[in-house]
Amino acid sequence: MSDDDGWIGADDIAALDRRAREILGENDRGGYTVPTAGLYPFQWNWDSAFAALGFATFDLPRAWTELETLLGGRWPNGMVPHIVFHRPDEGYFPGPDVWGTNRTPPTSGITQPPVAASAVRELLARDGPAGESRAAALYRPLLDWHRWFMRWRLEDGVLCITHPWESGRDNAPDWDAAMASVDGSAIAPYTRRDTGHVDPSMRPTEADYDRYVALVEFGREHAWDETVIRAEGPLRVADPTMTFVLLRAHRDLAAVGRVLGEDTAEIDSWIRTLEAGVPTLWNETTAAFDARDVRTGELAGSLSNASFLAWWGGVDEPRLLATLDRVLAATPHAVPSHPPWSARFDRTRYWRGPVWAVMNRLIATGLAEHGHRAQARAIRRSTRELIREHGFAEYFDPVDGTPAGGDAFTWTAAVWLEWASPTASSGERDSEPAREGR
């Protein structure tokens, strides 16, 4: 227990640990977890990677199963989709019929940030030689997925999204300009389900959703042909989240490969490619990494928490630290997904201001590994305070901490167990230097 944990009693810590484990159990659907009941009734890609990390703190076999089930939904071309529809559920839109991917089990037609390889490395570190056979079974599927990214999503050395949902940051201001050119006026009639579960003020707007559906319809109409999507798709934006998460995932997959005796030369070349491309995302005006519209070449001018994933990706940009310090000073709770001085800031609307525990975990871990331990500790403490005071919400108001979005959320519970809780061994990295190989 670190020096700043005295404000949480041992009984409170035990109760929070217990409740977090209960949430993972409640959201377990037998081999995979849903993010939360009702709002998200299927298996989501990067949510499952965090779920695996949570399970790993008390049930390593179940943690491995989570990732095995996720990768079991991969496509022949290597892509791991952002949703796997294991069971029918009318409570979510758009469902399998709207995506029209003709897969078994049904899936969406896009992907999400590839946290899975990083989770595999963490599980292998916990499990040791006993986990090598399970890691080996996942290595090739992960390699194929990473190869798919480098073939179909690489532009000027960085990773692109073709739908805001791919980024995991659906309505972030990063996409505003690029999405404005997406025509949502001719889509088929639909009924949103998300606003039946959550206050509409906490969700993307109707105009956002029309454009989201238009992008899905484009993909379906072209049978999810990546050649067509690359050449003609309405949206193609270079994304800091995808770029830094994949850069880290490459490093972690290579580390796993070395343990397994694999030749990692191809992965090493991918790492060099992304490292060379990262400077193209730097925005001198915001002093941060920014999204860039590939079609127009224009930077988004959006300072988001995704910029601070640079350290997670292994990029230690000195100029970015001052920007982070400014953001940390701007709200009582860290790290807001968009800063409060922006006209586009909305403190409870999804990715336009709220704090996300999973992003905090990645940001703080990267900071600690690069020796920026004061900022790492501040972010971990803030995350701990939010969860202790407001529960395991999907996200939180950065001004007053109000819980927002879904409740009893899998990845928030997982992040508590494996990083934010005073009992979490991974949180010890906040006071340690970078580990070899990161």
Q: CA-CA distance, 112 to 82, in Å (whole number)?
A: 5
Angle made by CA atoms 159, 163, 169, in degrees to the nearest 5: 80
CB distance 124 to 67 below 8 Å: no
| Structure-block tokens of residue 111 | 């992907």
Sign, Cα dihedral of 99, 359, 305, 406: positive
Give the pair of three-digit tokens for residue 137. Answer: 């079974």
The three-class DSSP label of residue 396 is strand
> Active site includes 170?
yes
First to last CA, the chain: 25
Catalytic residue among 170, 208, 290, 397: 170
* Counts of helices then strands in the chain (DSSP H, E): 17, 10
The continuous run of DSSP H or E covering 261 comes out as none
> How many Å apart are CA 88 and CA 44, to the nearest integer?
15
Under 8 Å between Cβ of 438 and 369 = yes
Enter the tokens of residue 156. Answer: 């000027």
Among 122, 394, 407, 430, which one carries the catalytic annotation? 394
Q: What's 298-363 look like in SS3?
A: CECCCCCHHHHHHHHHCCCCHHHHHHHHHHHHHCCCCCECCCCCCCCCCCCCCCCCCECHHHHHHH
Active site residues: 170, 394
